[in-house]
Structures are given as structure tokens and as C-alpha cells.
Amino acid sequence: MNFKKFSKLGQAFMLPISILPVAGLLLGIGGALSNTNTIAQFPALNNQVLQTIFTIMSTAGNAVFANIALIFAIGVAVGLAEADKGTAGLSAAVSYLVFTATISGYLQLFAAKDAKIDTGVLGALVIGLVVVYLHNHYRKIELPSFLGFFGGPRFIPIVSAFAAIFIASAFYLIWPPIQGGLVVLGQKIAAMGSIGSFFYGFFLRLTGALGLHHTIYPMFWYTSLGGSEQVAGQTIQGAQNIFFAQLADPNHTGLFTYGTRFFAGRFATMIFGLPAACLAMYHSIPKSNRKKNASFYSSSALTSLLTGITEPIEFSFLFVAPWLYVIHAFLDGLSFFAADLLSIRIGNSFSGGLIDFLIFGVFQGNSHTNWLLVLPLGAAWFALYYFVFKFFVTKFKVAVPGMLADNVAPSEISKKSNLYDQAQEIITALGSADNIEDVTACATRLRVSLKDSKLVKQDQLKQIGATAVLDVQGGIQAIYGSKAILYSQEINQILGREE
């Protein structure tokens, strides 16, 4: 798989992952406020109406996490389908249901009663990719006249269902040893202890520079690579699956699962570290340039602090000083290392910002999470990031926004007055509509597949507001923050590619 396809797969993961914050919000608040310990501590919550609301919130949120594999199968199919995405999504849903039912049938016929095969997100990924292949190749198929009703897009759910039976048969034979291998690998990673947590955080941050982290962490979050635990009498696999299962279990006592080490290291970096880096860079640029760059640094810091979205500030120094990004990745890895040593057990739904910290840390109680330890760790990380960035940016005159006279932060560059005009400008900067093969977006990046990347006018993209433009095989990634998804929709509408 080439870089362009691999990157597009990571972007497709973002569709199902984007559902998790809302589901986590419902489960986190509902589970915390319906917990017997919380009720005992705050008697005002012992109200039938309130407890009904909190229980429904918890149940509704848990429904998403209980069906995360199905959601991933649909999301991958929708994200990678070239057209008629609705049919692709329906086909993936049917195919995955047939897939799981077939495996269940084999287990009932040939295995012990307590035997279990849980393919998790990997099974969903295989189903999604097979459905996408069938959909993109055969959605316009013409069948003989007596079968004409089943031609075209109607053919895809049918052929996908039959394909799912064969895929399930193969998984029934090959998955048990693979699953056993993942369990062993997960155990070895756990046995590495805090050092393993460091390497996870370090390499996850490094791959984030190319937007490939979305293809890595789901393996730890949703498969046995992230651990296995018995929760409420059921075997749960995957770090996030385990965390939310414990969150939904009213009888859970003590600290949450050790698998939270794949999340807990984020909070010191995103809430404290990167905002400190913003302050350090702001203090490093000439005083004459600070006022016109203040809004960029303050908004980037606030975005990282509240939501855990870090690209706006990271891409202000990634391309002008890649070595500084490596230092940042190293510090982030140390954050995971320190959180592991301190037994901080806070999970998250999507990121490591203040919102997730409050819901999955503070609201769950210190006895479950050790959230109080994040405060001194965060204070240390604020000081560490500030002095590291202040030293290196000042000493090497790193060309962060505002360092040079003509180096103005993207938020200060004049832009077209409306979204349509901005999208037209981007199309022109990409070498015209004829040069554009595909346009998608993740949380902050506009991802464009192109016929000829040499036609791209990167300076023009930056004038429209891109923090940075990354050349990738077969296209570019332009960092537009929260407007990336809006630009993607508008460009596709202009190009007539919305289905």
C-alpha cells in the first residue's frame, strides 16, 4: 500500500473515531453521576428523575462502544468509497453482521461452549476494505436482463454478504493463533512497563507529523494488543474498550485498568506542555511582532488545552525545525513514561484536552484515576516545555510565526470574505480542478490527491490560511485547523463530487 492510500486509510478511521467524544461524554458523565460512591458523597444526586437521566446517558454512550467494530466497518467503507457512499455504508453493515453471525455459527457447531473469537477492529477493517473494493469496482455492473433488478448498486450488498461468509470462514481458521499472538505481544508490551509507555507516546507523536497516527493507535485501543481484562464477567479486549466497560460497570472499584497508560500521558503535554511552548515562542519573537501574532499563539494554546488538537501549534515549527518536533515527541514520550510511573489511570474518548480530563479524570474520582497527580506533573511539564522551547527557538532563531519580519501567523493573513471564495482560491492553488483527484479532511488537515503535485502553489495555500503544507506521495496535506472539513465539503461541492 503506497503512502497516499495509507494516509487515506488513516483519514477514513477519523469518521468512526469522531463519534467517540460525544459517546464518551454521555458515558463519562452518566456513569460518574450514577455511581453508588458518587451518590453517597453527594446525596442531592439521589433523585429518581436524575438517576434515570444519568442511567440513560450511560447506556446510550455505552451502546456506541459496544458496537465499535461495526461502526468502524461502516466508517472505513464510507470513507474510502469513490462514490455512492450510502450504498457502501449499508453494504459494510450487512457484510459485518453476516461476518459475525457466520463465526458465531461455526463456534456453535464445532467449538466448545465457552470458545470466543473476537476479531475486533481488524475484522472490521478487513470487511470494510473488501466492501470498498467490491463497491468501487462493481457498483455499475450490468447483469443479464432477467437479473436486471439486482444490477448496479443493488449488487453490492448482495455480493458483500456472500464475501463476508468466505471471510468469516477464513477468520475462523486463522484468527485464533493471530489473536493468541496479539495477546502475547500485548503482554510483552505490558511487561516492558513504563519504558513501553515511553516508546508508545514517542512514536505515536512522530507518526502524527505525517498524519499516520490514526492507523496506529486503534490497534492498541480496540484489539488485544492493548490488553485483555475481565469486566462484569466478560472478557474485554483493547485498552479503550476495557476502560469504557469499567466505566459502565457500577460495581468497579479501585483504579481503572493499566491499559489507560495509552491515554494518560497525553494530558500533561496537551493541557500544560504545548500551551507553554506557545508562550515560549511568543516570548522568543521580536517585541515588535508580538501584537500581530498574539491571537495565533493564544488560540493555538487554547485549542490544545481544551480539545487536545495540537496540529495548529505543532505545524508552526515542524517544517522550519523538524529537529524541534523530534524533541517535542521525546518530551511527549516522557509524559507517558511519567504518567505510567505515577499510576495515572485516566482514559479518553479522542484526545487529551481539558474536556476529557474533567470527564474521565476528575468526574470519576481520584480513587479511580489518580487525577490529582496530573496537576504537579502538568506544572513540571509547563516549566519543561517553556524553557526547552524558549532556549532552542531563541538560540537558533527558529522561524516560527513572527520571528521574521515577513513571517506572519496564518490567522493574521487576509483571507477571502466567504467560504466559497476561499475554496475557489484553494482549487486554483492546487493547480485547477483538473489536477484534483480526491479531496477529504480529518480534524485539521485538508488531504488532497493530485495528478501532478508540482502544480501546487504552496505560498498561495498559506496566504489563504494554511499553517503548513506537507508534500506526500501523490498529493498534499494542508493544515487549516477546524476549517479543513468545511473546505473539503465546499471544494467537493464546487467540483460536483458530492454524492
Tens digit of pLDDT for each residue in 94-125?
999 999 999 999 998 887 666 778 787 788 88
What is the spatial distance between Cα 468 and Cα 327, in angstroms, rounded to a whole number?
19
What is the spatial distance between Cα 85 and Cα 96, in angstroms, rounded to a whole number?
16
What is the spatial distance between Cα 303 and Cα 270, in angstroms, rounded to a whole number?
9
What is the spatial distance between Cα 263 and Cα 348, in angstroms, rounded to a whole number?
6
What is the spatial distance between Cα 163 and Cα 149, in angstroms, rounded to a whole number?
20
In the numeric block, which cell numbers belong to residue 361?
479524570
What is the spatial distance between Cα 228 and Cα 236, in angstroms, rounded to a whole number?
6
Instruction: Name the amino acid, one letter, at 358.
Output: L
Lowest mean pLDDT among 175-179, 196-200, 405-409: 405-409
Question: Pick the residue with more confidence: 173 or 216?
Answer: 173
Residue given cell 501567523 in the structure block: 409
| Helices 20-33/239-248 angle, 10° precision | 30
pLDDT of residue 412: 47
Neighbours of 249 (CB within 10 A): 16
Most confident of 146-160, 178-192, 326-340, 389-403: 326-340
Report pLDDT digits (tens) over 291-313: 888 888 998 898 889 888 787 78
Report pLDDT digits (tens) over 199-244: 999 988 988 876 667 667 888 888 888 888 889 888 888 898 899 8
Q: Which CATH architecture has domain 413-494?
A: 2-Layer Sandwich (3.30)
Question: Pick the residue with more confidence: 226 or 165?
Answer: 165
Report pLDDT digits (tens) over 446-490: 888 888 888 889 888 888 888 778 887 778 888 887 788 888 888
**278 is a catalytic site residue:** no
Q: Beta strand 475-479 with 469-472: parallel, antiparallel or unpaired?
A: antiparallel
Q: Distance from first CA to last CA of the chain, Å, rounded?
A: 26
pLDDT at 176 over 70: yes
Residues 453 and 476: beta-carbon distance below 8 Å: yes
In the numeric block, which cell numbers belong to residue 324?
524541534
Report pLDDT digits (tens) over 8-52: 666 677 677 767 767 777 877 887 777 666 677 678 888 889 889
SS3 at position 475: strand
SS3 at position 496: coil
Neighbours of 195 (CB within 10 A): 13
pLDDT at 413 over 60: no
Rounded to the nearest integer, the mean pLDDT of the chain is: 85
Residues 466 and 410: beta-carbon distance below 8 Å: yes
Neighbours of 431 (CB within 10 A): 18
Question: Pick the residue with more confidence: 195 or 217?
Answer: 195
Q: Is the pTM of this model over 0.95?
A: no
SS3 at position 446: strand
Dihedral over alpha carbons 81, 445, 463, 287 (to 10 degrees): 180
Residues 155 and 138: beta-carbon distance below 8 Å: yes
* DSSP alpha helix (H) spans, 18-119: 20-33, 36-41, 48-66, 68-80, 85-110
Q: Which pLDDT band, with edges at 50, 70 and 90, does 414 fall under? A: very low
Out of 81, 90, 334, 442, the active site residue is 442
pLDDT of residue 197: 92
What is the spatial distance between Cα 485 and Cα 499, in angstroms, rounded to a whole number?
16
In the numeric block, which cell numbers belong to residue 77?
467503507
Q: Where are the domains of the chain?
A: 3-256, 260-395, 413-494
Lowest mean pLDDT among 205-214, 360-369, 432-441: 205-214
For the chain, give the number of residues: 499
Report pLDDT digits (tens) over 260-273: 999 999 999 999 99
Task: List the beta bridge partners of residue 450.
Answer: 436
Look at residues 338, 327, 235, 320 and name the one whose alpha carbon lies nearest to residue 277: 327
pLDDT of residue 7: 58
